[in-house]
């Protein structure tokens, strides 16, 4: 999540790449010589020139701590802008002299936690974050990142406690966003959404990146309670501030898919299909359109190649998106359900609940849906799509 906060704060829920990094294609033979496989970053791109200069400096001084952390931070920013996990690897490489240390310098440890989080090594990330806040209780970055990881894992009590520590360390908008993000998952959606909306209105001077984060979350909150008008207005306000934010594009595309607006999805993501999550939305929109077109067949083949390549590498962070692909593009409910269950063991956001319930319903497997149904009841989760699926599965008993 580029430049969301001062220093290097990067909330995981906002950025699709943080929890579900993009996958890259396995070798395959294009249908024709005119097929565009990938658009490489232009060497004239200022960000690429900056990275090239940093790489050269770091090659000359690989143990320069300030230079290494600055380089890693820039790679993380680009990784999130481009939804390209290769840059996370480059960031880790920049920190190589300290990476394996049990207790590296604090600035390295925080970056390591963020990178571990990006690959779903949540337990390892939390260990680093716990160590940071124990040594430096005023480290707002660590508290915020810790709260985000805890929320994704469904540890809401701990996440609330981490958010509370931000009240004296960060801005009002950051603190309320953190608290509201937990509240919307624990039966306090209406109050959390109203508080966050009011806080954003009071903080119009916040930087664009912060506003995009908040507006995207507000759009998702409205969508979950079934207010399409409010959701769309918020997504569009966020897009006006940053039309390239990949998480925002994915969230808005999902909203449009729910509204059966496939042509709008295709128009939204057509220039962003290098990003795997957005290629998936493109394919879902083509499928929703109902025509077995060459475009759909090509998107299907490309997604299959990318997911296959990720599985060969042992990647597990893509399971939610792969489950959606297997269910809605390939029509394989059994495989989708297996992936959704594996994903549920790691993260517990609304989207994780939904894909597992969808797959269980399609597979006719009520037992597989039981953990999510119990979770929804136990935590008073408020999401109209999830609630509809729960009712559907219970009715089919």
Please give the residue that has the higher pLDDT: either 118 or 211: 211
Predicted pLDDT of residue 119: 81
- What number is the average pLDDT over the span 159-181? 95
Q: Is the confidence at residue 331, as pLDDT, over 60?
A: yes
- What number is the average pLDDT over the span 48-53? 89
Asked whether residue 174 is domain-assigned, the answer is no
Distances 190 to 39, 52, 177, 194, 195 between C-alpha atoms, Å: 43, 47, 14, 6, 9
Predicted pLDDT of residue 181: 94
Helix (H) or strand (E) holding 286: helix 276-289
Please give the residue that has the higher pLDDT: either 14 or 346: 346
Asked whether residue 321 is domain-assigned, the answer is no
- What number is the average pLDDT over the span 47-60? 90
Among residues 129, 150, 171, the one where a domain terminates is 150
Q: What is the mean pLDDT of the chain?
A: 88
Q: How confident is the model at residue 44 (pLDDT cuts 50, 70, 90)?
A: low
CA–CA distance, 87 with 84 (Å, rounded to integer): 6
Please give the residue that has the higher pLDDT: either 91 or 21: 91
Q: Which range of residues forms the domain containing residue 361? A: 337-397
Helix (H) or strand (E) holding 316: none
Predicted pLDDT of residue 41: 52
- What number is the average pLDDT over the span 178-187? 95
Q: Is the confidence at residue 22, as pLDDT, over 80?
A: no
Asked whether residue 117 is domain-assigned, the answer is yes
Q: Is the confidence at residue 10, as pLDDT, over 50?
A: no
Q: Is the confidence at residue 19, as pLDDT, over 70?
A: no
Q: How confident is the model at residue 256 (pLDDT cuts 50, 70, 90)?
A: very high
Predicted pLDDT of residue 397: 58
Q: How confident is the model at residue 81 (pLDDT cuts 50, 70, 90)?
A: confident
CA–CA distance, 238 with 224 (Å, rounded to integer): 18
154: left (phi over 0), alpha (psi -120 to 50) or beta: left
Q: How confident is the model at residue 43 (pLDDT cuts 50, 70, 90)?
A: low
Q: How confident is the model at residue 27 (pLDDT cuts 50, 70, 90)?
A: very low
Closest CA to 167 of 178, 154, 152: 178
Helix (H, G, I), strand (E, B) or coil at 184: coil
Residue 354, CB half-sphere, CA atoms under 13 Å: how many? 15
What is the tens place of the pLDDT at every residue in 267-307?
999 999 988 899 999 999 999 988 778 999 999 999 999 99
CA–CA distance, 384 with 51 (Å, rounded to integer): 44
Helix (H) or strand (E) holding 28: none
Asked whether residue 179 is domain-assigned, the answer is no
Placement of tokens 């903080």 in the chain: 203
Closest CA to 196 of 210, 214, 169, 212: 214
CA–CA distance, 252 with 296 (Å, rounded to integer): 20
Number of domains in the chain: 2
- What number is the average pLDDT over the span 211-230? 97
Asked whether residue 170 is domain-assigned, the answer is no
Q: Is the confidence at residue 87, as pLDDT, over 90?
A: no
How many CB atoms are closer than 10 A to CB 141?
25
Placement of tokens 């409010």 in the chain: 230
How many CB atoms are closer than 10 A to CB 24?
16
E-only strand ranges, 58-108? none
Among residues 150, 180, 196, the one where a domain terminates is 150
Q: Is the confidence at residue 326, as pLDDT, over 50?
A: yes
Asked whether residue 280 is domain-assigned, the answer is no
- What number is the average pLDDT over the span 147-167? 95
Q: Is the confidence at residue 379, as pLDDT, over 50?
A: yes
- What number is the average pLDDT over the span 143-147? 95
Helix (H, G, I), strand (E, B) or coil at 236: helix
What is the tens place of the pLDDT at every residue in 337-361?
999 999 999 999 999 999 999 999 9
CA–CA distance, 321 with 336 (Å, rounded to integer): 10
Predicted pLDDT of residue 310: 79
Predicted pLDDT of residue 85: 72
- What number is the average pLDDT over the span 73-89? 82
Q: Is the confidence at residue 236, as pLDDT, over 90?
A: yes
How many CB atoms are closer than 10 A to CB 142?
28
For the chain, counts of helices (H) and of strands (E): 22, 0
Predicted pLDDT of residue 7: 33
Among residues 106, 126, 150, the one where a domain terminates is 150
Please give the residue that has the higher pLDDT: either 23 or 94: 94
Do 273 and 279 meet the contact criterion of CB atoms below 8 Å apart? yes
What single DSSP character describes residue 6?
S
Predicted pLDDT of residue 283: 97
Predicted pLDDT of residue 24: 36
Placement of tokens 């990647």 in the chain: 315
Asked whether residue 231 is domain-assigned, the answer is no
CATH code of 101's domain? 1.25.40
CA–CA distance, 385 with 206 (Å, rounded to integer): 32
Asked whether residue 386 is domain-assigned, the answer is yes
């Amino acid at each position: 999540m580029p430049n969301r906060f001062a220093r290097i704060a990067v909330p995981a829920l906002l950025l699709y790449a943080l929890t579900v990094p993009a996958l890259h294609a396995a070798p395959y033979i294009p249908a024709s010589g005119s097929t565009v496989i990938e658009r490489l970053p232009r060497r004239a791109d200022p960000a690429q020139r900056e990275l090239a200069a940093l790489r050269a400096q770091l090659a000359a001084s690989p143990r320069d701590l300030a230079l290494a952390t600055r380089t890693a931070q820039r790679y993380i920013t680009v990784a999130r802008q481009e939804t390209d996990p290769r840059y996370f690897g480059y960031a880790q490489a920049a920190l190589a002299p300290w990476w394996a240390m049990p207790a590296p310098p604090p600035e390295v440890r925080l970056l390591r936690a963020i990178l571990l989080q990006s690959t779903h090594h949540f337990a390892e990330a939390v260990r680093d974050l716990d160590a940071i806040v124990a040594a430096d209780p005023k480290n707002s970055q660590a508290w915020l990142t810790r709260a985000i990881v805890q929320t994704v894992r469904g540890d809401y009590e701990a996440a609330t406690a981490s958010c509370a520590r931000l009240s004296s360390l960060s801005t009002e908008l950051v603190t309320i966003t953190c608290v509201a993000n937990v509240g919307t998952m624990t039966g306090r959606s209406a109050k959390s959404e109203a508080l966050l909306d009011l806080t954003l209105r009071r903080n119009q001077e916040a930087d664009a990146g912060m506003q995009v984060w908040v507006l995207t979350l507000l759009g998702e909150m409205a969508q979950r309670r079934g207010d399409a008008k409010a959701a769309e207005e918020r997504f569009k306000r966020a897009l006006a501030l940053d039309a390239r934010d990949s998480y925002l594009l994915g969230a808005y595309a999902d909203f449009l898919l729910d509204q059966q607006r496939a042509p709008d999805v295709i128009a939204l993501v057509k220039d962003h299909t290098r990003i795997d999550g957005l290629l998936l939305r493109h394919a879902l929109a083509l499928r929703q359109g109902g025509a077995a077109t060459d475009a759909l067949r090509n998107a299907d083949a490309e997604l299959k190649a990318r997911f296959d390549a990720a599985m060969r590498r042992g990647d597990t962070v893509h399971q939610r998106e792969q489950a959606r692909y297997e269910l809605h593009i390939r029509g394989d409910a059994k495989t989708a359900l297996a992936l959704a269950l594996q994903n549920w063991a790691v993260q517990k956001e609304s989207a994780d609940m939904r894909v597992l319930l969808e797959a269980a319903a399609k597979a006719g497997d009520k037992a597989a849906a039981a953990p999510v149904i119990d979770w929804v009841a136990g935590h008073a989760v408020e999401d109209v799509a999830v609630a509809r699926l729960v009712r559907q599965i219970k009715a089919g008993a």
